[in-house]
Amino acid sequence: MRPPPPPSITDALFLDFDGTLVELAERPSLVQVPPDLPALLACAAASVGEALAIVSGRRLASIDALLTPMRFSGAGLHGAELRTDPRETAPPLESVLDGAGQWLAARIDGDTALWLEDKGAALALHYRGAPQRADDAERLLRDAVAGLEVEVIAGKYVFEARPRGVDKGGAVRALMQRPPFAGRRPLYVGDDATDEDGIRAAQALGGVGIKVGEGSSAATFHLDNPAAVRAWLAAVVKPGQAAAEEPAQI
Ligand SMILES: [Mg+2]
């Protein structure tokens, strides 16, 4: 996979957050957001007519808190939350988890290798501190949500239970039907297994998939790490330059 040309002003940008815009941390709450990231994203968004969305497994409220004072369009909880107007606050979601979080929290109480992130409408069980516990973590989460309308997916050192039928590909397709995304070429950038749905959706819509970091991917293009993603975003063709420069052809 080769590095992508810079985004052009006629593109729509779909960006995963953890591992794509910021380096992964042992826990999602411990990520370090580069101080210039909110302004960089705002600048990139302005360059593409505000057609920039953060597509994350986090709640939109969590993304907002990390990128304050800026807010962006986006999909939270893999697409269970959608927002095309950054001024909107995501409506509270009906949780289908029905006490599964409390049950699981009690089961792993005192277990320092596993860490439960209860997102309300989704549950993530992290085992980053103990990679050998993958099978154990998956079994515990599956037991917790047995019989509920959720599906369990694997990410990087995490298993997550999320509402059934929701994925980042669906988020891209839904956002691409709405302004300011509609009519643009979607570029999807992500690092994890759950991003492959977004990458495939973007490519199926005539757009571009960009894989960040190691691992196999359906993407055509590749960037090494979040620092490379941020440098690539900074190179977006600015409106003032558009007349002088041919938009990048991919
Ligand atoms: Mg990620």
Give 243's pLDDT tier (boundaries 50, 70, 90).
very low
C-alpha 69 to ligand 1 mean position (Å): 22
CATH of 11-92+166-241, one of 3.40.50.720, 3.30.470.10, 3.40.50.1000, 3.40.30.10: 3.40.50.1000
Q: What's the confidence (pLDDT) of residue 242?
A: 46
Q: Are 159 and 138 in contact (CB under 8 A)?
A: yes
Among residues 16, 64, 192, 195, the one annotated as catalytic is: 16
What tokens appear for 20 in the block?
């794509």
| Separation of CA 248 and ligand 1 centre (Å) | 26
Q: Is the pLDDT of residue 245 over 70?
A: no
Residues of the chain with CATH 3.40.50.1000: 11-92+166-241
Measure 190 CA to ligand 1 centroid, in angstroms. Answer: 6
Share of the chain above pLDDT 70, in %: 93
Structure tokens at 47: 């360059």
Architecture of domain 100-163: 2-Layer Sandwich (3.30)
Instruction: Read off the pLDDT of each residue in 131-135 and give the average, rounded to a whole number.
Output: 96
- Please report the pLDDT score of residue 250 as a whole number: 53
- Which of 98-112, 142-156, 167-181, 234-248 is the least confident region? 234-248
| pLDDT band at residue 230 using 50, 70 and 90 as cut-offs | very high
Write out the residue limits of the CATH 3.30.1360.40 domain(s) in the chain. 100-163
Q: How far is the CA of 23 from the centre of ligand 1 (A)?
A: 9
**The tokens of 17 are what?**
């957050």
The alpha carbon of 242 and the centre of ligand 1 are apart by a number of angstroms equal to 31
Q: What is the per-residue pLDDT for 237?
A: 61
In this structure, are residues 207 and 14 in contact, taking their beta carbons and an 8 Å threshold?
no
Is the separation of the CB atoms in 157 and 133 below 8 Å? Answer: no
pLDDT greater at residue 26 or residue 169: 169
Residue 109 falls in the annotated catalytic set:
no
